Structure 1
Amino acid sequence: MKRVHVIGGKNHGKTTLVIDLIHELDDRGLRAGAIKHSHHHHELDIPRKDSYGHRESGAVVVGVLSPAMNALFWTGDAGASSESTNSAARYDTFASAMLGCDVVLVEGDSRTAAPKIEVCRAQFDTQSMADRLADVRAIVTDDEIRSELPILHRNDVPSIVDFLLRMLNDESSSSVGESCGEQRLLVNDFAKPQCGLEAFPEFSLRLQP
């Protein structure tokens, strides 16, 4: 999936920007997906509800189907290291549900290797993450900020979307932002442990004499 992370400090306006980007993508007839990344241990299911009881009883994955909304709950690896917890492989779990999306916006998660744009507000007097993260592609701001990266004005949402679409189109050939699992999903093959040519099913060609 074509994924871009919207990162930035607390109260810099990441959520508001993601919402504005989704509106603009929708206005253009594009399907947007969104993932909220959190470092905290949230209980997303509701205790004492049936689905919660199913999971507490040992179900690995629990689904909820209703006329209005559907959901899946599964438990993360509480003992995983910070590196594995934030690795691109975690996004495999969302890949099948988001294959129909033209763009997937991830709010947060600066650690995972993927294209990023940073929301930066000079009034908070904080150092830009772009100074230490090589995969930040642009800075979104309404302040006067000096940077070698492209500066996108916060209020010009159409121009930000134009930039994102060009960026993702340029990088899609190298599968930037896609883990091995996501690439295997595209060819419906989870048995292969590596990316590249091994991800494609084997075939043979026989010539008749």
Structure 2
Amino acid sequence: MKRLHIIGRKNNGKTTLVVDLLRELATRGLRVGSIKHTHHDHQLDVPGKDSHRHQQAGAAVVGVLSRSMSALFIPTHDEMGASDRYEILAPAYRECDLVLVEGDVETPAPKIEVWRAAMGSPPIAGQVDGVLALVTDDQSSLDLPSLPRSDIAGLADWILRYLIS
């Protein structure tokens, strides 16, 4: 699974950038998947629903199928490494040319950071490893390639050159 993580501090535009990139890459004919990473412990299923009851009864994996959407609830465990969590999902993304992951600064996978000076905090890139570039329309003192946030087509070109070529 070819992954690129879009990282950044809160309210710097991660979700908007991921949506813009998904739209741009899809119009180019690429099959792009997405994953939203969170460090919070969310209950993804709804307590009381049948699928949640299946999980509580001990099902190893719970699936929900409807006419318009399918979902799998796969438990993860604290002792699993970060890469193991992505490997669990890999089969669902096997037909994708690329997977954009929103978040996960701790991954060893390639990352780009979206950053806006107006938010008043420095880029994360100076504090974590593996950040390939800064996506911003602002000036930065970091020694990283700076990719214009306002140029989604150019950013998509850069991503494809880096990950797909």
Q: Give the whole-Å Cα distance in 2 for the aligned partners of 1:57 and 1:105.
A: 33
- For structure 2, list consecutive stretches of 5 or more residues without a partner in the other structure: none
Equivalent AA in structure 1 for residue 162 of structure 2: M
- Aligned residue number for residue 121 of structure 1: 116
Match of 1:190 in 2: none
Structure 1 residue identity aligned to 2:52? Y
Query: 1-side partners of 2:56 and 2:129: how far apart?
Result: 41
Counterpart selection for 1:96 from 88, 91, 96: 91
Cα deviations by residue, 1:141-177 (Å, 9 ceiling, x for unpaired): 121223321111111001111111111135xxxxxxx
Deviations 1:81-128 (A, max 9, x none): 6xx55x222101110010110110000000010100001111122122
SS at match of 1:91: helix
Bigger Cα Rg: 1
Offset at residue 129 of structure 1 (A): 1.6
- Distance in 2 separating the partners of 1:23 and 1:33: 11
- The answer to which of 97-106 and 128-137 deviates more is 128-137
- Residue ranges of structure 1 left out of the alignment (5+ in a row): 171-209
* TM-score, normalised by the number of residues in structure 2: 0.95
Identity %: 52
Partner of 1:179: none
Partner in structure 2 of residue 198 of structure 1: none
What do the CA deviations read for 1:31-77 (whole angstroms, capped 9, x no partner)? 01000001111111111111111111111110111111100012221
Q: Is the 8 A contact 2:24 2:152 kept in 1?
A: yes
- 1:57 aligned partner: 57
The residue matched to 2:43 in structure 1 has which SS? coil
Q: Which has the higher contact order (CA 8 A, sep 6+)?
A: 2
Equivalences for residues 65-80 of structure 1 within 5 A: 65-77=65-77, 80=78
In structure 2, C-alpha distance between the alignment counterparts of 1:41 and 1:134, rounded to whole Å: 24
Q: Distance in 2 between matches of 1:76 and 1:88?
A: 12
> Which shifted more, 106-115 or 144-153?
144-153
Looking at structure 2, the residues matched to 132 and 141 of structure 1 have their Cα atoms a distance apart, in angstroms, of: 17
Paired AA for residue 129 in structure 1:
I
The 5-angstrom pairing of residues 10-49 of structure 1 reads 10-49=10-49
The answer to whether the Cα contact below 8 Å between 2:137 and 2:148 also exists between their aligned partners in 1 is yes
Provide the C-alpha distance between the structure 1 equivalents of 2:148 and 2:60, rounded to a whole number of angstroms. 44
Runs of 4 or more off by more than 6 Å in structure 1? none
1:139, 1:62 → 2: CA distance? 38
**In 2, Cα distance between the equivalents of 1:147 and 1:132?**
11
**Superposition TM-score, scaled by structure 1 size:** 0.75
